[in-house]
A and B are shown apart, each in its own frame.
Chain A
Amino acid sequence: MSVTAEAPKRKASDYISDVKPVWCPGCGDYHVLLSLSRALAQMELEPENIAVVSGIGCSSRIPAYTNCYGFHGVHGRALPLAAGLKVARPELTVLVMSGDGDGFSIGGNHFLHACRRNVDLTYVVMDNRVYGLTKGQPSPTTEPDWDSALSPGGTGLRPFHPLVIALASGANFVARCFSGDVNGTARVLIEAIRHPGFSFVEILSPCVTFRPDEKQWKTLVHPAPVDPTDDPARAARRIMTDDGFNTGILYRGNRSPYRAPAASEPQDPGVLERKFVI
């Protein structure tokens, strides 16, 4: 690198609020916050033009830790809320931040339909394969043989495969990252935000308290050995047969994002209300 660039307008710290995270020391979600702030700074987006929407969970606390507009919503319902926001205010960058419980259990149905609808959102799921906030219950992505006090002998259930489901449901961009790779994740987030339509980024983010075994992830992750494809069938085959630790952009589609029909003149809420008077 040599000096050619002009000084950047934004620092990563501009996107971090004064609220101190209450995550456990070592939690992967700290890394995700750093990646997000670096991605936004690199893109030089104005914090007031970004909305960070979440559900409930340790991971879903993240809006409070950013300096952007935020909505810490109802468990599993971040996506419909964010879709409504983006359709009403298309000029905003809308980021949806969730956990594997929030996004794939209670919010699983919204996940499918958000992929189908293809509104221009970036959906980030901090996947730790456990419910952290409620103290360690298995989630849809938990391995069937994960033995714990709350699931003796493991659940025996086949794990949900979010990336394949996203593809099959119509997501326009699919990627997997590892939280410990802060700058690598930030680079993928930039691509996801820039890509039109619904972008889904699964970030493997260890829960050091309830899944201390996930500290090993840093030795298991590796960059996907292939370039992203725009063929969903090929992407699905690759994802189905990889070891679950391939990282990088795995699919970049070219569906046009959903656009709301041109709105009529904004109406006074009082006038709108009158239509519903019985």
Chain B
Amino acid sequence: MTEETKAAKNPVEDMATMLAYAHRIEVEAAERYAILADQMEIANNTELAALFRKMEKVEGKHADHIIEKAGPEGIPQFGPLDYRWEEGEGPETLDLTDIHYKMTAWHALQLALAAEKRAYTFFARLAKEAYDKDVQALAREFAEEEEEHIEFVMKEIKKYSAPEAGWDEDLDPPNHPD
């Protein structure tokens, strides 16, 4: 295991850093949803643009909640590359390559669900493996909150049915084969 992977596996040594990581996870997720909403607006997929915008707001509220939790001490800020993530970016951040301009709300929510589950795993592991007991306790709290987010996304998914094959068919595609 390289030093970098070791650091990414257990990046949090104290409470302030724990809060910084938790906050960063939500901020990065909100920023990613904002990019996705913009992309869908440009691609004229208005339904999905609205959904991503809603998710941006939800993640923004989660970030605010962490600020409240931190109280007057505040949350330390680090440079964007000072955070060490095992999977390259924050666990709740959607991968832009998974996006298709004709994707449906059902697809988007599946990606959101996977993201929430990654965040849960991140905190659940810290709850077990962090060196500091207080960090463990706070990580447990965050893991529980992530479980609530998972439930929320699962409920949202139930509002939609899985799209039929051919959902990505475009009668006027950008890469016309003729």
Can you pick out 30 interface pairs between chain A and chain B where the beta carbons lie within 8 Å of each other? A1-B7, A1-B11, A1-B12, A1-B78, A1-B82, A2-B13, A3-B20, A3-B76, A5-B76, A5-B82, A12-B80, A20-B38, A22-B42, A23-B39, A24-B101, A24-B174, A25-B42, A25-B43, A25-B100, A25-B101, A26-B96, A26-B100, A30-B39, A31-B97, A38-B81, A44-B79, A182-B88, A182-B89, A209-B174, A209-B175
Additional A-B contact list (19), CB under 8 Å, known A31-B97, A183-B85? A1-B7, A1-B17, A2-B17, A5-B76, A5-B79, A13-B31, A24-B43, A25-B39, A26-B96, A26-B97, A38-B81, A149-B177, A180-B95, A180-B96, A180-B97, A182-B88, A182-B89, A190-B81, A206-B97
Task: Tell me if A7 counts as interface (CB < 8 A to partner B).
Answer: yes
Task: Tell me if A46 counts as interface (CB < 8 A to partner B).
Answer: no
Task: Tell me if A218 counts as interface (CB < 8 A to partner B).
Answer: yes
Expressed in whole angstroms, the minimum distance between the Cβ of B76 and any Cβ of chain A is: 5
Contact call B14/A3, Cβ cutoff below 8 A: yes
Interface set, chain B 35-87, CB cutoff 8 A to A: 35-36, 38-43, 76-85
Q: How many residues of B contact A (CB 8 A)?
A: 40
Q: Which residues of A contact B41 (CB under 8 A)?
A: 20
Expressed in whole angstroms, the minimum distance between the Cβ of A138 and any Cβ of chain B is: 14
Task: Tell me if A258 counts as interface (CB < 8 A to partner B).
Answer: no
Q: Which residues of B contact A108 (CB under 8 A)?
A: none
Task: Tell me if A117 counts as interface (CB < 8 A to partner B).
Answer: no
Interface set, chain A 197-235, CB cutoff 8 A to B: 206, 208-210, 215, 218
A176 to B114, CA, bound (A): 29
How many residue pairs between the two chains, A and B, have CB atoms under 8 Å in the bound complex?
Answer: 103
Contact with A along B1-31 (1 / 0, CB 8 A): 0000001000111101100100000000001
Q: Which residues of B contact A210 (CB under 8 A)?
A: 175
Expressed in whole angstroms, the minimum distance between the Cβ of B78 and any Cβ of chain A is: 6
Contact call A42/B14, Cβ cutoff below 8 A: no
Contact with B along A3-16 (1 / 0, CB 8 A): 10101100111000
Q: Which residues of A contact B35 (CB under 8 A)?
A: 30
Q: Which residues of A contact B36 (CB under 8 A)?
A: 25
Contact with B along A34-66 (1 / 0, CB 8 A): 000011011010000000000000000000000
Contact call B17/A3, Cβ cutoff below 8 A: yes
Expressed in whole angstroms, the minimum distance between the Cβ of B172 and any Cβ of chain A is: 13
A184 to B86, CA, bound (A): 11
Contact call A20/B174, Cβ cutoff below 8 A: no
Contact with A along B141-152 (1 / 0, CB 8 A): 000000000000
Expressed in whole angstroms, the minimum distance between the Cβ of A17 and any Cβ of chain B is: 12
